[in-house]
Amino acid sequence: MANAVEVDPRPGSDERLARMIRIPTVSAELEQRGGGPFEAFVSLLEELYPLVHRRLARERITQFGLLFHWRGRNRDADPAVLMAHYDVVPVDESDPWTHPPFAGRIEHGWVHGRGALDDKGPLLVILEAVENLLAADFVPARDVYLSFGGNEESFGAAAREISETLHQRGIAPWIVLDEGGAVTDAPLPFVSGTAAMVGVGEKGLATVRLTARSEGGHASVPPRLTAVGRVARAVDRLTPRIFPARAPRAIPRMLRLFAARSSGAGRILYRTLSAWPWLNARAFAALGGEAAALVRTTIAPTRLSGGTANNVLPSQASATVNLRLALGETVAGAVRRLRRRIADPLVDIEVVEGNDPSPESSADHAPFALIARAVGASHPEAVTVPYVTMAATDSRYFHRFCASTYRFAPLAMNAELRATIHGVDERVEIAELHRGERFHRALIEGLPA
């Protein structure tokens, strides 16, 4: 790359990540643990990345947001924003972890612990790249911001404030890159090799509470339909077919790229599906699982409540339903569909929280091409493929101000590793930390002036 410099990466990134993991920054347990772990983590970053803190301007945005500003050569060019979060989800103490989740154990080429993949590992590789470039006296072609949030797992208020702060200052990023996709093997049946799955859009989120009321009383004389029965009937009516399958623009391109890496029937199948978006939407929906979630709004009842005793009819019952909204849907439109499907005016529908899906960023513009070139430096065997991110990320607060908002963590994660995110035995391979640092270094070096 034109702006590349000779860099000698620092050793010890595995131990630095292990030290991060040992600080239990569990945002959902803030009341129990207090703010101490978060302040300890901020202090640890100062210790581990002295050049970042000496040469970049750092701001605290809310209690949990960290915004670093690295001045580039062309101050008039729109900046790059690299994002990550340093909070983690709770751990169920009864889960059978091989190593304690906050021990930060290093063993057999892996770093183990909560946050290794989500999202302290991806945060670390950003800081490693910046620290190494600063040690080589590198200056990026344009400004670079590092946006780190400490409450992404509890709705991301810090990231929202950081995005609003930049917007109020008139800063419109050229590219925003957050967590989301990863480098994966066997991304679809018949496809060989590995793929860097870059999220060009993000599904929306809606948490909806269904509530019904009825006369209370003794369970020995129940009415025809109790509050519990009414809510149960409403939940039973919420099938995936409520929402139509839609193919975002990213899906045909993804299938064309996968066709080139397939043979025989697989190549014919993916070429055919890529040419007919309406057909690939239906095919993905029929496959179920992750494939269906790419093209359809998903509905998952997550909580049920009602009643105070085993022999008392509850006067109220409720169910909480989690929806992940497909691109093109809205929270308001989804609620209307639920109301029509439930078809019971005695069931109240309340939106507890919600945000619409993101727009779809282009996979044909220079920012996406830059990501692909950086993948070529870190994972040269992988093809860079656009797709839709199904989980919520902090980047959802930036897409209003940046048309090129992407979601990708430059670490290899097979299906078994992806299942450890928010699960048991989360871990990252040390070799992937080195590749992730190389990705971000190439990305920053390749920023155009």
Q: What pLDDT does residue 187 have?
A: 81
Domain boundary among 256, 271, 296: 296
Q: Per residue in 28-63, pLDDT tens?
A: 999 999 999 999 999 999 999 999 999 999 999 999
Q: Residues with Cβ < 8 Å from 356, sequence gap 6 or more?
A: 204, 325, 329, 330, 331
Are both 135 and 166 inside the same structural domain?
yes
For the entire predicted model, the pTM comes to 0.92
Tokens of 139: 């200056």
Give the side-chain half-sphere CA count within 13 A for 118.
Answer: 27
Are both 237 and 248 inside the same structural domain?
no
- Does 81 fall in a domain? yes
- Does 3 fall in a domain? no
- Supply the range of the domain harboring residue 339: 204-242+305-352
> Over the range 156-167, which residues count as b (16 or more CB within 10 Å of their CB) and which as e?
bbbbbbbbebbb
- Does 167 fall in a domain? yes
Are both 167 and 41 inside the same structural domain?
yes
How far is the C-alpha of 364 from the C-alpha of 343, rounded, in Å? 43
Are both 320 and 362 inside the same structural domain?
no
- Does 4 fall in a domain? no
Count structural domains, the chain: 3
Q: Per residue in 68-118, pLDDT tens?
A: 999 999 999 999 999 999 999 999 989 999 999 999 999 999 999 999 999
Residue 324: CATH number of its domain: 3.30.70.360
Biggest CA–CA distance in the chain, Å, is 81
pLDDT, block means (10 residues), the chain with 449 residues: 78 98 97 96 98 98 98 97 98 95 98 98 98 98 98 92 97 97 89 95 96 84 89 95 90 92 91 90 87 91 91 92 95 97 97 94 97 98 95 92 97 96 98 98 97
**Rg (alpha carbons) of the chain, rounded to whole number:** 23
Going by C-alpha positions, the residue among 175, 22, 206 that lies closest to residue 101 is 22
How far is the C-alpha of 272 from the C-alpha of 263, rounded, in Å? 13
CB neighbours of residue 75 within 10 Å: 9
Are both 167 and 98 inside the same structural domain?
yes
Are both 104 and 177 inside the same structural domain?
yes
Dihedral class, residue 253 (left if φ above 0, else alpha if ψ from -120 to 50, else beta): alpha
Q: What pLDDT does residue 109 have?
A: 98
Are both 83 and 160 inside the same structural domain?
yes
Are both 134 and 262 inside the same structural domain?
no
